[in-house]
Structures are given as C-alpha cells and as structure tokens.
C-alpha cells in the first residue's frame, strides 16, 4: 500500500532540513532498516531508515532541497508495488499541488530589497507562478524574475544581475546554488583588465555555508549568554610524552597526546564532580558519567562529536573512538546523536604550533579546554635551570554553572594527572 515518507525531525526543535541524497533511486526496492536517504542538518548528516521493506515509487524533492519538517519527500510502496496514475495517488494521499514543490532556501537573511523572508511553515507563497522564457530564466508575465532573498543577496554581492542567472528551483526560481554556479562560471573566465580598477584591493566574498552560519550563531549566543572566565596552567609534559611513546610501541591504534588529555580531563571530572555539569534554566544538571566532546576541523566547518563515558574506556579504546569520530566528521557521516550531550569540550591547536589560546564554550557545555603545543623550554629542576617539555592549557568556564574555586580545583587535578600520567591508566 502506498504511503508518504515525510521529512523527519532529525534534531530537537528543528523546523527544516536539507535532503542531501537519495540512497535508493525511484522504482528501486529496499529492505527494512535500510537507509533510503540522507538528510543534512546544521550540524550533521543523518540517515533516514525504512521502517519496513518496500519500494520508492516517487521522490518528491531533489537532492539539495531544503524541506520543512513533516513535509512529504517521497511516496513509498510495498515490495513490487507499481502505480499507474501518480497524480491521482498523490491526491488520494492528501498531497496538494502546492505541497509538491517543497524546495526552500534558508531565508533568515534580510532581503536586500527590504524585509526578511518568513521561515514559518504557514507562511503563504509570496510570488505567483512564473513562466520559463526562451532563455530558460524564471520570469512572471510582468517580467519579474523570481529568486529567494538569499539568492538575491548573493547575486548582488557578486555583481551579477539576477536576471542573467538560470534558476533551477520550483518553477525555475533562482536559488543559492544557481548564484554560486554563476559566480564560479564567471570566475573561470579571463576578465579584461579595467584601468579604472587598478590599485583597488582584490577580494572574494565566500558565501556562508550552513555549518558556518550554525557555528557563528551558536558561539555568538554562548558569549552573550554564558559569562566566561578563564583558568590557565602550564604542565611539565616530559612524562606525558614518554608515556605516549611507550603506548605506541607496536600499537594497532596510535594514541595521541590529545587522547591522553581527553582521558585526563574525564578523570579530573570524576575527581571534581562539580565540574561535570551543565546550566539549565531550572537547575544545574550534574551527570554521573563523563561525556567529552572533541573539536574536529573539517573542510565543511568545525564539529564537536562527543565521546561517551570516557571514564570507562581504556586509553587505546578512547583513541579508537576518537579516530572513528574524526573520520566520520571529515567524511560528513556524523549522526545527530554524535553531536549531542557532554559537559565539556577539548580543542587542540598544538599541531599548528600554537602555544596558548582561549576558546569559546560550546553550548550547553559548562567548559572547554584549549590545548597548546608541547614545547621545549627552560624549566627549574631542584633549583637549577634545565630544558624540559611544557604544555599550556586554558580552561574557559561558564560562571553560571561553575564557581572559580571549583574550576581551580579541577585544573589542579588535571595538571597532577598529566604530570603523573600513569594515573590516567588506572
């Protein structure tokens, strides 16, 4: 029996998501629990799995479409089922003609022509149906070109008249991807030198990705709502470096210094449980297990997948978990639940030679630990100067959930663990 597949609420309180890819093509069958499609949220790619075996009778949206949660995205049938009159079936399933064009672009950017486009699911269409001209562009009978507010903004920034862009959206509406394609096409062409522009600084506007927008909004809210304070420490890292070398002798999964820091941070949480908390409007929520997020830089943006119950993991098991999450992040295969939970993050710029830095707390976490590079520096040993390895750490803390004395005790415990790293293995 034919049934609709609707855009799921893949993240809490999400109102829309992007249909990233159809894994099962039209008229192809699938098994129960098989992945039919992948959906992109602002943070991750999520697999949409089949509840039962069947066949994809018709896909209603193309890859790249931004769709409201609950909107129909495909018609599914029982195994071997076929449909002769698709239009009649859609009508029978209650899919109105207006529901069949559910492609939407993110419209939380002010329209350069004035106002901000509404993202409300109940917002009525703001344009009449356009007709395709001989040039293939979307024009209404009055000559107006239809384009999303974001597409207009990007086209204006790129200096490309929206009338010159071929639209690929519903009824040939110009969308963001159309503008990006037009910009790329122009960039590929050699441009004549304009004497009037000689001496002006050259620049390029790179449109914001969904990940970049989400990261910017999240961290801006963090700095605005969470009063940050900072605790810094310098660690003698000689024993830590030596332990890592020993662990990696004939190891199947190499252990990084960052793995040891993550493990030590979890151990410090167990020693100072007042740090293993998050702030909510009603209470400070304290957790019994320690989940730690690890910052991962990718071409698509910054992700912070969460390692669960770090305290129960051996160092090698932790290294394997972290490596798997990093690979998934860089391949764009993180699940939504990989990015949810935890009470603190660990971010490391030491591999770039950064000695010390402070990071912004990743909501709803109560803290983030910034890890610098291990460096050889003069140190004092028994009253005499010597050369030793040092590591600088900066802990950013949400003062609503954690007091300064608690953060200081936690940092003291962390430094002790890192300077006596065999205790991390206990």
Look at residue 55 in the predicted model and tell me its pLDDT: 94
Max mean pLDDT range (13-17, 334-338, 389-393): 389-393
Positive or negative CA dihedral for 127, 131, 132, 134?
Answer: negative
pLDDT in tens, 324-335: 999 998 887 888
pLDDT in tens, 51-81: 899 999 999 999 888 888 888 999 999 998 8
Residue 215's Cβ-side half-sphere holds a number of Cα atoms within 13 Å equal to 16
Rounded to 5 degrees, what are φ and ψ at 199? Answer: 95, -15
pLDDT at 178 over 90: no
Beta strands in 226-273 (DSSP E): 228-236
pLDDT in tens, 14-53: 677 888 889 999 999 999 989 999 887 766 777 888 989 9
Look at residue 412 in the predicted model and tell me its pLDDT: 98
Query: Rounded to whole angstroms, how far apart are CA atoms 83 and 55?
Result: 11
What is the pTM (predicted TM-score) of this model?
A: 0.65
Helical pair 176-188 and 149-158, crossing angle rounded to 10 deg: 20
Look at residue 139 in the predicted model and tell me its pLDDT: 40
Look at residue 12 in the predicted model and tell me its pLDDT: 57
Q: Enumerate the β-bridge partners of residue 369.
A: 346, 395
Query: Rounded to whole angstroms, how far apart are CA atoms 264 and 267?
Result: 5
Mean pLDDT of 353-374: 96
Q: Are 130 and 173 in contact (CB under 8 A)?
A: yes
Least confident of 3-12, 49-58, 222-231, 312-321: 3-12
pLDDT in tens, 85-98: 888 888 888 876 54
Q: Are 182 and 165 in contact (CB under 8 A)?
A: yes
Mean pLDDT of 204-213: 82
Long-range interactions of 211-214: CB distance < 8 A, separation 24+: 211/42, 211/43, 211/300, 211/301, 211/302, 211/303, 212/301, 213/42, 213/106, 214/42, 214/43, 214/301
Question: Quick one: DSSP state of residue 116?
Answer: B
Band (pLDDT 50/70/90 cuts) for residue 199 is low
pLDDT at 361 over 50: yes
Q: Which residues contact 283 (CB under 8 A, 6 or more apart)?
A: none
pLDDT at 7 over 70: yes
pLDDT at 151 over 80: no
pLDDT in tens, 97-143: 544 444 444 333 333 333 333 333 333 333 333 333 333 443 433 44
Q: Are 122 and 89 in contact (CB under 8 A)?
A: no
Query: Bigger pLDDT: 362 or 134?
Result: 362
Told to judge if 399 belongs to the known catalytic residues of this protein, a careful annotator would answer yes
Mean pLDDT of 161-186: 79
Query: Rounded to whole angstroms, how far apart are CA atoms 27 and 143?
Result: 39
Look at residue 112 in the predicted model and tell me its pLDDT: 34
Look at residue 121 in the predicted model and tell me its pLDDT: 34
Beta strands in 7-53 (DSSP E): 16-22, 29-30, 35-40, 45-49
Q: Kindly list the structural domains of the chain, giving each domain's residue range(s) and its CATH number in brackets, ordered by start.
A: 3-100 (2.40.50.100), 223-425 (3.30.559.10)
Q: How far is CA 105 from the centre of its chain?
A: 18
Query: Rounded to whole angstroms, how far apart are CA atoms 182 and 161?
Result: 10
> Looking at 228, 269, 365, 399, which residue is catalytic?
399
Least confident of 258-262, 296-300, 387-391: 296-300
Query: What's the distance, Cα to Cα, between the start and end of the chain in Å?
Result: 57
pLDDT in tens, 275-305: 999 999 999 999 999 999 999 998 878 899 9
Residue 261's Cβ-side half-sphere holds a number of Cα atoms within 13 Å equal to 29
Least confident of 37-41, 185-189, 294-298, 314-318: 185-189
| Strand pairing report for 306-307 and 292-294 | antiparallel
Look at residue 320 in the predicted model and tell me its pLDDT: 96
Look at residue 42 in the predicted model and tell me its pLDDT: 66
| Strand pairing report for 306-307 and 65-68 | unpaired
């Amino acid at each position: 029996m034919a049934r609709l597949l609707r855009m799921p609420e893949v993240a809490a309180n999400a109102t829309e998501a992007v249909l990233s890819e159809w894994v099962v093509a039209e008229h192809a069958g699938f098994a129960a629990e098989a992945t039919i499609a992948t959906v992109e949220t602002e943070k991750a790619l999520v697999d949409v799995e089949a509840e039962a075996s069947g066949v994809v009778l018709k896909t209603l949206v193309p890859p790249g479409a931004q769709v409201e949660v609950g909107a129909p995205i495909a018609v599914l049938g029982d195994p071997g089922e076929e449909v002769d009159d698709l239009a009649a079936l859609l009508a029978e399933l209650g899919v109105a003609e207006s529901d069949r064009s559910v492609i939407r672009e993110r419209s939380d950017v002010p329209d350069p022509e004035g106002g901000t486009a509404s993202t409300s699911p109940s917002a009525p269409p703001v344009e009449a149906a356009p007709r395709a001209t001989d040039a293939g562009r979307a024009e209404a009978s009055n000559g107006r070109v239809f384009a999303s507010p974001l597409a207009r903004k990007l086209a204006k920034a790129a200096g490309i008249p929206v009338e010159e862009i071929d639209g690929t959206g519903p009824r040939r509406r110009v969308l963001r991807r159309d503008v990006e394609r037009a910009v790329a096409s122009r960039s590929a062409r050699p441009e004549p030198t304009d004497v009037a522009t000689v001496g002006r600084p050259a620049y390029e506007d790179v449109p914001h990705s969904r990940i970049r927008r989400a990261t910017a909004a999240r961290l801006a809210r963090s700095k605005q709502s969470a009063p940050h304070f900072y605790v810094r420490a310098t660690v003698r890292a000689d024993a830590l470096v030596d332990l890592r070398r020993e662990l990696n002798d004939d190891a199947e999964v190499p252990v990084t210094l960052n793995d040891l820091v993550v493990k030590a941070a979890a151990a410090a949480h167990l020693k100072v449980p007042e740090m293993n908390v998050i702030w909510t409007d009603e209470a400070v929520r304290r957790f019994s297990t320690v989940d730690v997020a690890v910052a991962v830089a990718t071409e698509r943006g910054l992700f912070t997948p969460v390692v669960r119950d770090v305290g129960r993991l051996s160092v090698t098991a932790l290294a394997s978990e972290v490596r798997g999450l990093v690979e998934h992040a860089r391949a764009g295969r993180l699940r939504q639940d990989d990015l949810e939970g935890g009470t603190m993050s660990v971010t490391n710029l030491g591999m770039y030679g950064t000695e010390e830095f402070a990071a912004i707390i990743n909501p709803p976490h109560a803290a983030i630990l910034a890890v610098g590079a291990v460096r050889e520096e003069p140190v004092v040993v028994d009253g005499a100067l010597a050369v030793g390895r040092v590591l600088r750490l900066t802990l950013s803390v949400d003062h609503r959930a954690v007091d300064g004395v608690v953060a200081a005790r936690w940092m003291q415990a962390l430094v002790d663990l890192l300077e006596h790293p065999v205790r991390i293995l206990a």
